[in-house]
A = this chain, B = another copy of it.
Amino acid sequence: MQTINIGLIGFGTIGAGVVKIFQQNGDLLTQRTGVHFALKGIADLDITTDRGIQVDPSLLTNDARALLDDPQIDLIIELIGGYEPARSFVLQAIANGKHVVTANKALLALHGEEIFTKAEQAGVEVLFEAAVGGGIPIISSVKENLGANRFSSVLGILNGTCNYILTRMGEEGEAFDAVLCDAQKQGYAEADPTFDVEGIDTAHKLALLCGLCFGTRVDFDQIYTEGISKLSALDIEFARQFGYKLKLLAIGKFDGERIEVRVHPTMVPFEHAMAKVDGVFNGVRLEGDFVGPVMLTGYGAGMNATASAVMGDVIAVARNLAASTAVRSPSMGCPQKVLASYPIKPMDEIVSAYYLRFTVQDCPGVLAQIAGVLGKHQISIESMIQPHRHEAEAVPIVLMTHEAMERNVRRALEEIDCFELVREKSLMVRIEDNLQ
């Protein structure tokens, strides 16, 4: 029986999950692939903390380079995250002719082209199912089974931390800061939550999905990214009254010429399956020209689910080995040289329906003023809620618009925000209505 020798770099939560799968399901992996899986070494800066699993101490090392340079090792699993030294490690593994499985979306969103090109030249696989959507088999589905489709859109709830916070804000009516603080205590949010709550992590994942689905390079710096920290429980409640749920949505669209690649709080119809993706669940919805809409949901993070995705890629490499082939599918589903470089549509030009919340002094005529400005900018109102007046000086006016061009909405809001009766910067949330 063939053996695949594996070096694991990064022994954090997911790394521990991967080791757990080797231990618990190693027999199953061998049954399914006909290959023996041998974990030859685990590198981490910290090799003393108890991960809750028994590991042969001789496997543990501080020296990642020793694994990268070990000629016996066929495959490196990179789970340290971040840009460096992950990038150097991955490039070194490739240079040494080793296959790479990684969960590192930040690295691939920014340095994917370099890494994948090097991998193609070296004739090794770089697989990254675990980088997007936790355990959900979205990357492999797009690359393989759905590969006969031209995709027109990919939408996703891709960050468990944000989704957990928004779900709890909705259920408990609590403020963002309070829920975030509690999420940190419970381990659902990092000590520095910026990457998660400001949408950056979601944008990393969206860059990879858009690249795969649309067959294009995606310039990460051009992705419009807006997080959830400015949202209030009030907006979630108003959304509910309008029949929507508030989610941090990753949106990729392709019209054949330009791509939309944007991450922002988005209202989705309450009855759509995407609105049911709550808590730490992730969901991705694709629209292909033949398959139509396909949606996949599952745990978006966590030790076990993410380790499952890592191991799915390890199985793929093992199957290649068993079939005496080095590489089977290019990392992005097609060779780097055939990737297009479609331009990203500027946000000013996107068309969407909008939820708008104004905070105004409660005077007669203020709504007429607002409506006048909106009308002037070709924005028509679909529905409106002016809640009961409390004795407070400032009251919200919330409304949903029909589809409008973002440029017009921004200009209208700038104008409205100059009104004397407007007491706070107006809030705008985009609506994604065209779901099936």
Contact = CB atoms under 8 A, between A and B. Distances in A.
Interface of A: 17, 20-21, 24-25, 28-29, 31-34, 129, 135-137, 140-141, 144-150, 215, 271-273, 276, 288-299, 302, 304-305, 307-309, 311-316, 319-320, 322-329, 333-335, 338
Given A137-B146, A149-B25, A323-B325, A298 B291 contact: yes
A408 to B, nearest CB: 34
A313 to B, nearest CB: 8
A102 B164 CA distance: 42
A146 B312 contact: yes
Nearest to A298: B294
Contact of A304 (B34, B140, B292, B325): B292
A291 B145 contact: no
30 contacts: A25-B150, A25-B289, A28-B148, A29-B147, A31-B338, A32-B147, A32-B334, A135-B288, A135-B290, A135-B294, A136-B294, A137-B137, A144-B319, A146-B312, A147-B312, A148-B308, A288-B308, A290-B304, A291-B309, A292-B298, A292-B302, A292-B304, A294-B298, A295-B296, A295-B297, A296-B296, A319-B328, A322-B328, A323-B326, A325-B328
B311 A319 contact: no
A21 B148 contact: yes
A297 B320 contact: no
Given A34-B335, A215-B31, A17 B144 contact: no
Nearest to A20: B290
Nearest to A276: B273
- Please tell me how many copies of the chain the complex holds: 2
A287 B210 CA distance: 28
Nearest to A149: B308
Nearest to A330: B32
Chain B CB within 10 A, most for which of A140, A148, A313: A148
Given A288-B308, A291-B304, A323-B328, 15 more contacts: A24-B289, A28-B215, A32-B147, A135-B288, A135-B292, A137-B141, A273-B273, A273-B297, A290-B307, A291-B309, A292-B305, A294-B297, A323-B325, A323-B326, A328-B328
A214 to B, nearest CB: 11
A312 B145 contact: yes
A25 B315 CA distance: 29
A308 B150 CA distance: 11
Contacts of A297: 273, 294-296
Chain B CB within 10 A, most for which of A21, A150, A309, A312: A312
Contacts of A145: 129, 137, 140-141, 309, 312-313, 315-316
A134 to B, nearest CB: 8
Given A144-B144, A145-B129, A145-B137, A308 B290 contact: yes
Contacts of A316: 144-145
A150 B24 CA distance: 10
A31 B330 CA distance: 11
A327 B334 contact: no
A371 to B, nearest CB: 36
A98 to B, nearest CB: 18
A329 B319 contact: yes
Nearest to A288: B308
Contact of A148 (B148, B215, B311, B335): B311
